[in-house]
Amino acid sequence: MEQGTEQYPSLWRTPDPAPQPEPEPEYQYEPPQSPIREDRSLLKRIGGGIVALGVLLAKLGAQLKWLLVLLPKMKILTTAGTMLVSTAAYAWLFGWQFGIGFVLLILVHEMGHAIQLRREGVDAGWPVFIPFLGAYIGMKEMPKDAAAEARVGLAGPVLGSIGCLVPLALYAATGNNLFRALAFIGFFLNLFNLLPIVPLDGGRAMAAISPKVWILGFAGLVAGAVFFPNPIILLIVLFAGLEGWRRWRARKSPEMQEYHRVSRGTRVAVAAVYIGLALLLVVGMHFTHLPRTIN
């Protein structure tokens, strides 16, 4: 071992310098912000947002101006909405396939009225559907005379009966009884509407022949309510009674007498279409009737 090479720690240490206190952070006094200034700042932000939104809407408006013009005129949206409600109601009872088919048959029937109303120059709306009561088209004015009203009344059952040929053809091609049932209910729907009492189509058609026929139609409707009582036919009896009584009371006024002044040729044509269509619908119902079997 070499001498003098050992290292010994010194017994004397230089004391560490005393720690210096950290300087305290300088406190800067900030006066409290005035509530009025905060409100103004908030209003500025809101105002800026409103301005930005206005600019955005202006740009969108320039691009969609045509849509904003058309929206008030898109009455077809009402038709589509009520169609969906009616379809859901019928589907709940009879299944969605029958519900869709039945509502489409009603639509074809109502489009017959709509087309003829426009041909007659009558301002009218789009079809509005009512579950279990069918549908109707609101007229803002009456046709010019009873002959025009008869043509409008018959146009629905005529086009509706033609529409029933579609499920009938599908049944012949597929043998599916769903289409047979739809054809039958379509024929029945159009035949029922030919009852000669307002506001049904048959009553509008018979107005061109003689309002006295309404008495027979109302008697037949009451008989149906007695033998087949249900809330729907009772409502139809009520509406028919009110409308028939109103028109019957006004039949002798000069305006109504002028309204019902129809040529003999028109009377014959209306009667022929009415009777011929009713007979064809009865035949259609006979061949599409589907007997129900109860297990």
- For residue 69, is pLDDT > 60? no
In a domain, 55, yes or no: no
- For residue 14, is pLDDT > 60? no
CA distances from 153 to 70, 216, 274 (A): 30, 18, 10
**Backbone angle region of 45, left / alpha / beta, with phi > 0 → left and psi within -120 to 50 → alpha:** alpha
Q: What is the DSSP string of 114-145?
A: HHHHHHTT--B---EEETTTEEE--BSS--SS
In a domain, 13, yes or no: no
> How many domains are contained in the chain?
1
Report the pLDDT value the prediction gives residue 60, as an integer from 0 to 100: 47
Report the pLDDT value the prediction gives residue 12, as an integer from 0 to 100: 44
Q: For a pLDDT cut of 90, what percent of the chain falls above it?
A: 36
In a domain, 11, yes or no: no
pLDDT in tens, 76-94: 667 788 899 999 999 998 8
The distance between the two most distant Cα atoms of the chain, rounded to a whole number of Å, is 153
Lowest-pLDDT choice from 27-31, 253-257, 279-283: 27-31
Report the pLDDT value the prediction gives residue 2, as an integer from 0 to 100: 46
Report the pLDDT value the prediction gives residue 10, as an integer from 0 to 100: 44
In a domain, 12, yes or no: no
Q: Which residue has the higher pLDDT, 199 or 165?
A: 165
Banded pLDDT at 9 (limits 50, 70, 90) = very low
- For residue 278, is pLDDT > 60? yes
Q: Domain of 147?
A: 83-288
pLDDT in tens, 146-166: 999 999 999 999 999 999 999
**Mean pLDDT, to the nearest integer, of 233-245?**
82
Q: Which residue has the higher pLDDT, 64 or 263?
A: 263
Report the pLDDT value the prediction gives residue 273, as an integer from 0 to 100: 93
Spatial CA neighbour of 117 closest among 98, 141, 135: 141
- For residue 49, is pLDDT > 90? no
**Mean pLDDT, to the nearest integer, of 38-66?**
52
In a domain, 18, yes or no: no
Q: How many Å apart are CA 217 and CA 151, to the nearest integer?
A: 19
In a domain, 115, yes or no: yes
In a domain, 33, yes or no: no
Q: How many Å apart are CA 125 and CA 79, to the nearest integer?
A: 10
In a domain, 190, yes or no: yes
- For residue 121, is pLDDT > 80? yes
In terms of Cβ atoms closer than 10 Å to its own Cβ (0-12, 13-18, 19+), residue 148 is buried
Q: Which residue has the higher pLDDT, 188 or 23?
A: 188
**Mean pLDDT, to the nearest integer, of 214-241?**
81
Over the chain, what is the mean pLDDT? 78
Lowest-pLDDT choice from 57-61, 120-124, 241-245: 57-61
